[in-house]
């Protein structure tokens, strides 16, 4: 269980703990993620680029443009397959509907290395998600 303010309460009354979904994504192979509710009942994952940390220079204002330009089909398929694998281990109400690639090398963090979820939520409010395709 995580912090009470981070719990996602779905319209049907189910509670989703973002840490549970993030752990499933990590086990499936995602380097790091932040799970948020973007609209009532819609769970999305913000993920870091696959590969070792620091391979993609982040922190620059042009980070988003660099991500869009360098998100090739192979990376997109890899992340999509990983999210599908994680969804297979989660309950129906916990499944990720879409994912987005974070534009920097790492999430904004506090001095104790916790992710600043409010900044990630603010970014997600203006960015467009990539849906998880359920087809083969």
The pTM score is 0.79
Q: Does residue 123 surpass a pLDDT of 70?
A: yes
Please write the tens of the pLDDT for every residue from 67-97.
554 567 888 999 999 999 999 999 999 999 9
pLDDT for res 50: 83
Cα distances (Å, whole numbers) of residue 77 to 10, 84, 101, 136 = 28, 10, 12, 11
pLDDT digits (tens, 9 = 90+) for 15-72: 999 999 999 999 999 999 999 999 999 999 999 988 776 544 444 444 554 455 456 7
Reduce the secondary structure of the chain to three states and give it as a string.
Answer: CCCHHHCEECCCCCEECHHHHHHHHHHHCCCCEEEEEEECCEEEEEECCCCCCCCCCCCCCCHHHHHHHHCCHHHHHHHHHHHHHHHHHCCHHHCCCEEEECCCCCCCECCCCCECHHHHHHHHCCCCCEECCCCC
Structure confidence at residue 70 (pLDDT) = 57
């Amino acid at each position: 269980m995580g912090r009470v303010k981070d719990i996602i309460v779905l319209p049907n009354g189910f509670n989703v703990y973002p840490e549970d979904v993030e752990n499933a994504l990590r086990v499936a192979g995602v380097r790091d993620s932040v799970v948020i509710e973007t609209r009532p009942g819609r769970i999305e994952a913000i993920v870091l680029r696959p590969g070792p940390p620091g391979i993609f220079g982040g922190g620059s204002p042009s980070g988003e443009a660099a991500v869009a330009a360098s998100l090739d089909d192979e990376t997109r398929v890899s992340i999509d397959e990983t999210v599908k694998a994680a969804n297979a281990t989660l309950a129906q109400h916990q499944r990720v509907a879409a994912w987005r690639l974070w534009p920097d090398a790492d999430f904004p963090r506090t001095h104790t290395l916790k992710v600043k979820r409010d900044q990630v939520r603010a970014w997600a409010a203006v960015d467009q998600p990539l849906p998880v395709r359920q087809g083969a």
